[in-house]
Amino acid sequence: MMLEIEGLSVSYGGLAALRGVSITVAAGQFVAIVGPNGAGKTTLFKTVSGIVEPASGRIVFDGRDLLAVPPPERAHLGIAHVPEGRQVFAAMTVLENLEMGAYQLRSRLDRQRNIDRIFTLFPVLAERRRQLAGTLSGGEQQMLAIGRGIASNPRLLLLDEPSMGLAPAIADLIFERIAALHREDRVTLILVEQRVAEALESCDYGYVLETGRVVLEGTHGALMADDRVRRAYLGM
């Protein structure tokens, strides 16, 4: 397994955000983690990235104890975290943002190839490569945030709520491009999303997180067919 999370618990001010969460991700797999707001999805990513320290549990990445690796070094292992909220460098151009994503040695070696790939996935970024990121639309900024993650040539890409605040048509385009990235490049992906139907549409395997616990898990087909998922999240 590329990523193994076992019995992960995290608390904020005495309140449990994650309770004994266990998740595994194989190389090349597309895993979706879905659930309502406040379920602990973002906390899970922050713990993997090192922004938050767990109370207990372990995280192993490629056979290495990730919790023993200082947070700034985790990106150098090939983990790219695209946080929620479309965080881009507003005063820098689109191209400069992408080049910032490619600052690591492992990504610098393939910088141009990665940037060309990003422009193929998101042609509008190629059109606006000289434009300041702060002047882009919300959807374009989200494409740029994802592109910057891809520019780091990641082995594992963590995408946190990429549809947040976007119009449905733009969100659908983002999801389609994420699916294409996985299908065509076999990038290992973990997608955290409140939009359950869209998140489960293209994933290989999914986890349903509620109040900090994994309450359901299964393949794409099994979760889409599960009565609890259909009633609670798919409106069926």
CA distance 204 to 36: 20
Say if 27 falls within a structural domain: yes
Nearest to 154 by CA among 8, 10, 25: 25
Q: State in Å, rounded, how far the first CA of the chain is from the last one.
A: 34
Strand partners for 188: 156
Nearest to 218 by CA among 82, 39, 32: 32
Query: 61 and 164: one domain?
Result: yes
The Cβ-side half-sphere exposure at 224, using a 13 Å CA radius, reads: 13
In a domain, 178, yes or no: no
The reply to whether 148 and 160 lie within a common domain is no
In a domain, residue 118? The reply is yes
C-alpha 191: how far from chain center: 4
The reply to whether 175 falls in a domain is: no
Last residue of a domain, one of 112, 130, 154: 154
Half-sphere exposure of 68 (CA within 13 A, CB side): 5
Kindly state whether residue 119 falls inside one of the protein's structural domains: yes
CATH for 33: 3.40.50.300
**C-alpha–C-alpha distance, residues 111 and 214, integer Å:** 38
Residue 107 is predicted with a pLDDT of: 46
Q: What is the pLDDT along the chain (236 residues), one digit of tens a residue?
A: 999 999 999 998 878 999 999 999 999 999 999 988 888 999 999 999 999 999 999 999 999 999 999 998 998 899 999 988 778 999 999 999 998 877 654 545 577 888 899 999 999 999 999 999 999 999 999 999 999 999 988 999 999 999 999 999 999 999 999 999 999 999 999 999 988 888 988 899 999 999 999 999 999 899 988 888 888 877 65
> Do 122 and 95 belong to one domain?
yes
Give the domain extent around 128.
Answer: 86-154
226 in a domain, yes or no? yes
User: What pLDDT sits at residue 104?
Assistant: 59
> Residues 162, 53: one domain?
yes
With a CB cutoff of 8 Å and minimum separation 6, the contacts of 83 are: 45, 145, 160
Count: domains in the chain: 2
9 with 68, same domain: the answer is yes
Residue 176 within any structural domain of the chain: no
- Co-location of 73 and 94 in the same domain: no
What are the φ/ψ torsions at residue 141 (nearest 5 degrees)?
A: -65, -35
Judge if 234 and 208 occupy the same domain. Answer: yes
